[in-house]
């Protein structure tokens, strides 16, 4: 890992640029197909390429986005202009990244819990991805909240796998995004989510320490502390912000380079409002930014709807969403901006 220290530092520093976040455009083929079909968009390799080209070629996007997580298909595709997507991003000063996990499988001897697979052959794949231009990677673990879950076994197993992945990445000169997602599905209260999130992060950072992962060269991508979707008690924006920051301050070492939240099923507006409220609290131990997928993409995808005629309008919606989250990462977002046309530069 020593040989790559300067490289890791340069990548981590760029990903932590104030006012910028990370676009998660790494939906697997089945996931993006499901989203396309819901909007009656033909789901083909070419339509996926056109859609992702629309996002990455949006005007001025480099002002708000520091990195883009790509799916393996996209990493090896050419943009519509004829150059590879990683080269297109590099020309804009945006870092290309890559999703490297192989999805979820059942965790034996648990109550419908899961563990992420993909460690086998990971060093070889990382070398190939790096040659194609990837500078950072992403690995997602999930934790389901119920009265009995997550179990101790799920906490420890997923933490161990996340740490092994992160250590392998750093030995290959790739900055790892460590993503422990506490799922929004369920009727749990925000208090129960706070309890689970704390246990998850404690387990993750203990495992990262055991595996000698350099925290200054990782991106932590956690979920926010929020009530379950089916919970009758909806938490206020300020409550989500306070509880999320409290958990982070209790569990995340100050040496962690940056925290870029996932949106995890929140609406675009909710994700911006919660991030903004956190940054307005003034606890600037680490940058608190975004690594959103649907909360950045969904409004633009609806406008695009698979038609070339809608590309410009969809790009404007996407850039506006990115700018609003950029402002939220600085504590400068305001709900009135949602309807202000002047928000675009």
| Tens-digit pLDDT profile for residues 293-334 | 999 999 999 999 999 999 999 999 999 999 999 999 999 999
CA 128 – CA 286 distance, rounded (Å): 31
Tokens of 116: 């992420």
Instruction: Show the low-confidence residues of the chain (pLDDT under 70).
Output: 1-2, 341-345
**pLDDT for the residue numbered 284:** 78
Task: Kindly give the pairing relationship between strand 219-220 and strand 175-182.
Answer: parallel
Give the global pTM.
0.96
**pLDDT for the residue numbered 345:** 44
Q: Is 31 helix (H, G, I), strand (E, B) or coil?
A: helix
Domain ranges of the chain: 2-343
The CATH number of the domain covering residues in 2-343: 3.20.20.70
**pLDDT for the residue numbered 3:** 82
CA 278 – CA 284 distance, rounded (Å): 10
CA 323 – CA 61 distance, rounded (Å): 8
Is residue 150 reached through a cis peptide bond, with omega within 30 degrees of 0 on the bond before it?
yes
Q: Are 105 and 75 in contact (CB under 8 A)?
A: no
Catalytic residues: 179, 221
Q: Which helix (H) or strand (E) holds 161?
A: helix 152-171
**pLDDT for the residue numbered 2:** 52
């Amino acid at each position: 890992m020593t040989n790559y220290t300067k490289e890791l530092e340069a990548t981590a520093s760029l990903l932590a640029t104030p006012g910028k976040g990370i676009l998660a455009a790494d939906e697997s083929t089945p996931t993006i197909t499901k989203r396309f079909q819901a909007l009656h968009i033909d789901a083909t390799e070419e339509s996926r390429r056109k859609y992702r080209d629309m996002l990455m070629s949006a005007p001025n996007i480099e002002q708000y986005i520091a990195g883009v997580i790509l799916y393996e298909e996209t990493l090896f595709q050419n943009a519509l202009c004829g150059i590879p997507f990683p080269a297109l991003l590099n020309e804009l000063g945006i870092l290309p990244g890559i999703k490297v996990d192989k999805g979820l499988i059942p965790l034996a001897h648990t109550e419908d819990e899961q563990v992420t697979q993909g460690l086998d052959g990971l060093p070889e794949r990382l070398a190939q991805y790096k040659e194609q231009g990837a500078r950072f990677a992403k690995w997602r673990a999930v934790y389901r909240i119920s009265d009995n879950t997550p179990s101790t076994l799920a906490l420890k197993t997923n933490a161990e796998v996340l740490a092994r992945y992160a250590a392998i990445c750093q030995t290959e000169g790739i900055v790892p995004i460590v993503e422990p997602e506490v799922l929004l599905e369920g009727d749990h209260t925000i208090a129960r989510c706070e309890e689970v999130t704390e246990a998850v992060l404690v387990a993750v950072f203990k495992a990262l320490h055991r595996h000698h992962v350099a925290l200054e060269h990782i991106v932590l991508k956690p979920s926010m502390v929020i009530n379950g979707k089916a919970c009758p008690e909806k938490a206020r924006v300020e409550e989500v912000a306070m509880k999320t920051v409290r958990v982070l301050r209790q569990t995340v070492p100050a040496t962690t380079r940056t925290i870029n939240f996932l949106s995890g099923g929140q609406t675009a507006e909710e994700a911006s409002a919660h991030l903004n409220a956190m940054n307005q609290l003034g606890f600037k131990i680490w940058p608190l930014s975004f690594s959103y997928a649907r909360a950045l993409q969904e409004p633009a995808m609806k406008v695009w709807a698979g038609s070339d005629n809608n590309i410009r309008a969809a790009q404007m919606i996407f850039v506006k969403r990115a700018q609003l989250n950029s402002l939220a990462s600085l504590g400068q977002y305001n709900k009135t901006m949602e309807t202000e046309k002047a928000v675009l530069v």
